[in-house]
Amino acid sequence: MQSSKGIKFFIFLIINMLIVLLPNDVYSMQKNQKIPQEVIIGGELLHMELNTEKVMIFGIEKNSFIKNYDLIDCISGDSVKRIFNQNEKNILSKQDIITTLISMKEDEKINLSLIRNNKKIKVSIDKKQLKPEYLVDKIPYTATLTYINPQNLNFGAVGHDIEFKENEKLITNKGEIYKSNLSRIKKSSKKYVGNINGDKSENLLGTISNMGSYSVKGNVNSLQNNKEHKICKIANENEVKLGQAFVVMKHNENETKYYKINVTKINKIGKEIESFDFKVEDEALIKKYGGITQGMSGSPIIQNDKLIGSLSYVMTKDTLNGNGVYIKTMMKE
Which of 3-17, 81-95, 210-224 reaches the highest mean pLDDT? 81-95
The pLDDT of 296-300, averaged and rounded, is 95
Q: What is the mean pLDDT of residues 245-264?
A: 91
Residues 190 and 150 occupy one common structural domain? yes
Both 79 and 216 in a single domain?
no
Residue in 281, 147, 122 with CA at minimum distance from that of residue 217: 147
| Distance (Å, whole) CA 3 – CA 25 | 31
In a domain, 44, yes or no: yes
Q: How far apart are CA 148 and CA 42, in angstroms?
A: 7
- Check whether residue 110 and residue 69 sit in a common domain: yes
pTM over 0.85: no
**Assigned domain for 244 exists:** yes
Within-domain flag for 92: yes
Lowest mean pLDDT among 1-5, 19-23, 239-243: 19-23
CA distance 321 to 278: 6
Q: Which helix (H) or strand (E) holds 100?
A: helix 94-103
State whether 153 and 282 are in the same domain.
no
C-alpha–C-alpha distance, residues 261 and 202, integer Å: 34
pLDDT value, residue 50: 86
Domain count across the chain: 3
Using the predicted structure, report yes or no on whether residue 53 has a pLDDT greater than 60.
Answer: yes
Cα distances (Å, whole numbers) of residue 163 to 145, 159, 174: 19, 9, 14
Closest CA to 136 of 60, 218, 47: 60
